[in-house]
Amino acid sequence: MAVHYMTKEGYNKLLEEVNYLESERRPAISRQIAEARDKGDLSENAEYDAAKEAQGMLEAKISQLKTLISNSRLIDESQISTESVQILNKVTIRNTKNNQKMVYTLVSESEADLKQGKIAISTPIGKGLMGKKVGDVVDIKVPNGIMNFEVVDIAL
């Protein structure tokens, strides 16, 4: 499995999610299974089947998150530079065709959240911006063609 770089904040969110799933969701599903089992014949008990399926999905999710946590490496935010685009930089780019400016913070896949302006470094735009400097113009292949962006600013 690949190493995942993330911020301390993102790492703590994953730990909180695992804790919630293990301490609250797991016991709730166990109670649902017990209640369904108490209702009798398991061969025709849809509630029991649904609860067992939910339990399987929950355990898979917990396992997936624990694997992600064990393969995570925290990023030393004090080592982040604004010389060229790298993870955790807030990058202002300008679409050279329509002059529209956008600001994105480049993060790991597990921390990406477009609503908050956080895009993964593994996305086409993220990959295209990595290593670029202010003033660089980059052609980025996106699903609907090639877009041209100028790197306007790199900040923390």
Q: Tell me where in the chain the CATH 1.10.287.180 domain(s) lie.
A: 4-74
Contact 85, 132 (CB under 8 A): yes
Lowest mean pLDDT among 34-43, 78-87, 92-101, 109-118: 34-43
Whether the predicted pLDDT of 4 surpasses 70? yes
Q: What percent of the chain has pLDDT over 90?
A: 68
The alpha helices in the chain, defined as continuous H runs, are 8-20, 26-38, 46-70, 124-129
Lowest mean pLDDT among 3-17, 88-102, 139-153: 3-17
Closest CA to 154 of 83, 79, 77: 83
Whether the predicted pLDDT of 117 surpasses 90? yes
Q: Tell me where in the chain the CATH 3.10.50.30 domain(s) lie.
A: 77-155
Rounded to whole angstroms, the Cα distance separating 118 from 90 reads: 9
Closest CA to 155 of 106, 82, 101: 82
**For the domain 77-155, what is the CATH code?**
3.10.50.30
Average pLDDT on 5-9 reads 84
**Pairing label, strands 72-74, 4-6:** parallel
The two tokens of residue 117 are: 């302006």
CB atoms within 10 A of CB 127: 15
CATH 2.60.40.3680 fits 4-74, yes or no: no
Whether the predicted pLDDT of 6 surpasses 90? no
Question: What confidence score (pLDDT) does residue 120 get?
Answer: 93
Residue 125 neighbours by CB under 8 Å, 6+ apart:
93, 104, 119, 140, 142, 149
Whether the predicted pLDDT of 22 surpasses 80? yes
Question: What confidence score (pLDDT) does residue 97 get?
Answer: 92
Question: What confidence score (pLDDT) does residue 73 get?
Answer: 85
Closest CA to 75 of 138, 134, 154, 4: 4
**Which of the four pLDDT bands, split at 50, 70 and 90, describes residue 31?**
very high
Question: What confidence score (pLDDT) does residue 43 get?
Answer: 72
Rounded to whole angstroms, the Cα distance separating 89 from 75 reads: 12
What pTM did the predictor assign? 0.69
Question: What confidence score (pLDDT) does residue 149 get?
Answer: 95
Whether the predicted pLDDT of 30 surpasses 60? yes
Question: What confidence score (pLDDT) does residue 36 get?
Answer: 86
